[in-house]
Amino acid sequence: MRILAVSGSLRAGSHNTNLLRAAIDAAPQGIEVELFDPAGIADLPLYDQDLDVAGDVPRSVARLREEWGAADAILFATPEFNGSVPGGLKNAIDWASRPRLEAPLTNKTVAVIGASTGQFGAMWAQADLRKILGIAGARVVGDELPVTRAHEKFDAEGGLLDGELHERLRLLLGTLAAESVPAGVSAAA
Ligand SMILES: Cc1cc2nc3c(=O)[nH]c(=O)nc-3n(C[C@H](O)[C@H](O)[C@H](O)COP(=O)(O)O)c2cc1C
């Protein structure tokens, strides 16, 4: 069972990326969590239907579709920017939602977590992301996991300081794995 961990933040010291690194450590036996390189989001062109030509999409788009499509499930961690998801993450999801019937996100089992430095733990961004992913064709499972005051939850090396959060990540990964349809297997099979 391979879960891809996608951070909505591009910055090197990201709390959301650190949260996903903590998920790698919290993974139950038999579940492998792999961090998606944030450059895979930064390098994408803005979605343009004129560029979305079968067999001839930009390299960065082909790579994104291949890597997201190959995962058994995806765990997204999103910051909140002005009350919603970062534009780069939304753009990546738009690319991954096409071509509609064979898109990487079609029937993909996904879960959403999020961290912000404020008091609400990116709750609005998580709610929007769940909605966007559902409309894009993914199966959103598990509860929201808001990490508030994220700057207090990690040490200087990015290590998680909060044992309860470690446990919640472990449980969420278990749910995500249990609900997922392995890549390459039809959901109807
Ligand atoms: C442009 C911008 C807008 C932001 N808007 C919000 C917001 O609406 N709500 C919130 O809780 N935090 C907001 N923040 C704070 C971010 O949640 C915080 O910087 C967070 O740590 C970013 O995630 P990262 O550490 O993974 O990069 C904003 C930050 C930026 C740079």
State the DSSP code for 152. Answer: G
Q: Which atom of ligand 1 is nearest to the CA of 151?
A: 21
134 lines ligand 1 (CB under 6 A): no
Give the per-residue pLDDT at 181.
76
> In this predicted model, which residue has the larger pLDDT, 86 or 101?
86
Question: CB of 113 within 8 A of CB of 143?
Answer: no
Instruction: Output the residue whose Cα is nearest ligand 1's atom 10.
Output: 80
Q: Please indicate, yes or no, whether the overall pTM of this predicted structure exceeds 0.85.
A: yes
Give the per-residue pLDDT at 186.
59
Give 132-158 pLDDT, tens digit per residue: 999 999 999 999 999 999 999 999 999
Give 49-61 pLDDT, tens digit per residue: 999 999 999 999 9
Give 120-136 pLDDT, tens digit per residue: 999 999 999 999 999 99
- What is the arithmetic mean of pLDDT over 88-93? 98
Please state, in angstroms and as integers, the Cα–Cα distance from residue 32 to each residue in 9, 21, 60, 84, 134, following that order: 22, 12, 24, 29, 24
Q: CA-CA distance, 5 to 36, in Å (whole number)?
A: 6
3 lines ligand 1 (CB under 6 A): no
